[in-house]
Amino acid sequence: MTQPKNSIDIRHDKIVVIDAANRLTRMLANQIRDWQVFTVIHTAKVTSAELAAGNYRGIILAAPDPEHSELDPNYDLYRNPELAAAGFAKAIPEALLQTDLPLLWLIPTEAQVEFFRLIELSDRVGAVFYPVDAKVAQLTANGIIRDFVLKTCGCAADWSAENFIEDTVTRLRAELGSRQVICAFSGGVDSAVAAVLTHRAIGRNLTCIFVDHGLMRLNEPEDVERVYGRGFGMNLVCVNARQRFYAKLADVVDPEEKRRIIGAEFIRIFEEEAAKFGDADCLVQGTIYPDIVESGSAGGKLVKSHHNVGGLPDNMQFKQLIEPLRWLFKNEVRSVGLALGIPKEQVMRQPFPGPGLGVRIIGAITEERADILRSADAIFREELAAAGLAYEYSQYFAVLTDMRSVGVRAASRTYDYTVALRAVRTGDFMTAASAEIPYPVLHRVVARITSEVPQVNRVVYDITGKPPATIEWE
C-alpha cells in the first residue's frame, strides 16, 4: 500500500522548527500555527537538501534542555552569551548554516544571564536565552519570536482552518476523482474530521466502516449513526462486534495484552468488512501530526508507535493510504471539525484511548463490567456539563477498579465495586495536575453513581499528578 509522502503539500509560508531534545519544541510549533503561520518539526539531523525541498522562510533551533546536554559536545556554549556569540558556528548544525534562511536560536540555560533578549550573532542568526523552567507563554510574551516569524522571515499569516479545508478538498478531488474509498472510522475526533473532509471532496464515493467493539462510551454507536450517517449523509457501515470482542477478552487482565487483542481483532474485522468493497482501492485514516512526529516519520525521534501510523497490514487490498490531517495538531483538527459543521459536542469530546473502556476497566473485561463503567462515566460527564465545566478540564473520565468493598444499601450489607474518578489539567499531556473539581459537583456525581449504578457502592477521586502517575490508569 502506497504511504503518504513526507513532502509537505502545504502552499503557505512555512517555518521549520528544529528539535534538539527540547521539551518546548512541539508547543512552540503549535503556538506559531496559532499566529496563522505553518510550521514543520525536524530533528537536528535534518539535511540541507531537506531544508531546500521544504521551501521554508526561516528556521527556529530549540537547543537541548540541560538534562540532554550530553547530546551536544558544545553545550558549554549555552551557558554564556559571549561564548555563544564566539562559538555558535560550532554549536549550530552545519546544514542550518548552509542555507540563506534567517535563524533564531533558542537556548535554555541555568546560568545567570539576561533572559528573553535578542542577541544578534551574525547578519542572519540571532539567539535568545531563557530559563530552563520557562513555559511557551513566557518565551513568546515579548514578541521576539512572533516578530522573527512575521517580520524577519516575512511570513504571511494566512494559515487557517478554512484555507486548509478549501486546499484539501481541492487536492482530494483531483487526486481521488471517481475512485472508491474506505475510511477506518473509530468515531473519535480525528477519524471523524478526516471522514467528513474526505466526504466533502468525493461524496458517496466514500464508505466509512465503524466497528462497535462494546467498549465505547454510553450511546456513542448511536451518536455515530445519527451525526454522520443521517446528519452528513455518509455511507456508514456499522458493525456490531461486541460479543466477539468480549469473548476474545474473557479473563484477560494484563493491560498490554488487552490492547494487543483489541487492536488485532479490530484489524481482522475491518479486513473482513473492507473485503466486501472489492472496488475500493484507497484507505482514509485519521492520522494527525503528533502521531507522525512521535512515530519518527517526519524527522522526529521515535517516542511510541501509533495505531494510525502503519497500523494496518500492508497486504490489504488498498493501493493508497490517504491521511488528510497528517500535518495538523489536535487543536487544529478541532478547529477544522467546527468549520466543517460537525457539532461542538462531537468535536470537543474528551480524549478516548484506542482500546476504549477496555483500559479503564481494571482486571477482566465482561459485558456487565463494561455496562457498569459506561453508566458511571456518563453520569460524571453529565454532571460536569450541568455545572458548566464540560470544557474546563483537559481530560476527565471514570475507571472501574477491581476492588470491591463492604457498603450499605437499603439497610442491607453490600459487597460491590469501587469507581475512581479522574480529572486533570494539562497543556501538553506530558505532565498534568489533578483538577480541583468543586466538592458540591463531586457530591452530586457520587450520589448519582451510587444510587443509579447498583453494582457500585464506593467512589474515590484520584488526585495524583503526572508524574508519578500517568493520566490513564492502564
Most confident of 226-240, 257-271, 415-429: 226-240
Confidence of residue 314 (pLDDT cuts 50, 70, 90): low
Q: Where are the domains of the chain?
A: 14-151, 161-348, 367-462
Indicate the range of 351-360, 377-386, 400-409, 427-436 predicted with least confidence: 427-436
State which fold the 14-151 domain adopts: Rossmann fold (3.40.50)
Looking at CATH, the fold of the domain delimited by 161-348 is given as Rossmann fold (3.40.50)
Longest dimension (CA), the chain: 81
SS (H, E, C) the chain: CECCCCCCCCCCCEEEEEECCCCCHHHHHHHHHHCCCEEEEEECCCCHHHHHHHCCCEEEEECCCHHHHHHCCCHHHHHCHHHHHHHHHHHCCHHHHCCCCCEEEEEEECCCCCCCCEEECCCCEEEEEEECCCCHHHHHCCCHHHHHHHHHCCCCCCCCHHHHHHHHHHHHHHHHCCCEEEEEECCCHHHHHHHHHHHHHHHHHEEEEEEECCCCCCCHHHHHHHHHHHHCCCEEEEEECHHHHHHHHCCCCCHHHHHHHHHHHHHHHHHHHHCCCCCEEEEECCCCHHHHHHECCCCCCECCCCCCCCCCCCCCCCCEEECCCCCCCHHHHHHHHHHCCCCHHHHCCCCCCCCHHHHCECCCCCHHHHHHHHHHHHHHHHHHHHCCCCCCCCEEEEEEEEEEEEEEECCEEEEEEEEEEEEEECCCCCCEEECCCCHHHHHHHHHHHHHHCCCEEEEEEECCCECCCCCCCC
Rounded to the nearest 5°, which phi and psi values hold at 106?
-100, 120
Q: What pLDDT does residue 9 have?
A: 64
Grid coordinates belonging to 420: 475512581
Report whether CATH 1.10.3720.10 matches the domain 367-462: no
- pLDDT-wise least confident of 64-68, 158-162, 185-189, 450-454: 64-68
Kindly report, residue by residue over 185-208, the tens digit of the pLDDT: 988 899 999 999 999 999 999 999
Mean pLDDT: which of 3-12, 58-67, 386-395, 420-429 is highest?
Answer: 386-395
260-290 pLDDT, tens per residue?
999 899 989 988 998 898 888 899 999 888 8
- Structure pTM? 0.84
pLDDT band for 78, please (50, 70, 90 cuts): low
pLDDT of residue 22: 87
Q: Where is pLDDT greater, at 111 or 223?
A: 223
Task: Tell me: pLDDT of 306 over 50.
Answer: no
Banded model confidence at residue 178, pLDDT cuts 50, 70, 90: very high
Lowest-confidence pick of 5-14, 48-57, 316-325, 391-400: 5-14
Q: In this predicted structure, what is the pLDDT of residue 80?
A: 65
Average pLDDT value for residue range 428-450: 93
Percent of the residues in the chain that have a pLDDT greater than 70, as a whole number: 89
User: Does 301 have pLDDT greater than 50?
Assistant: no
Two domains, one topology: 14-151 and 161-348:
yes
**If you average pLDDT over residues 116-125, what whole number do you get?**
90
Position 209 scores a pLDDT of 96
Mean pLDDT of the chain: 89
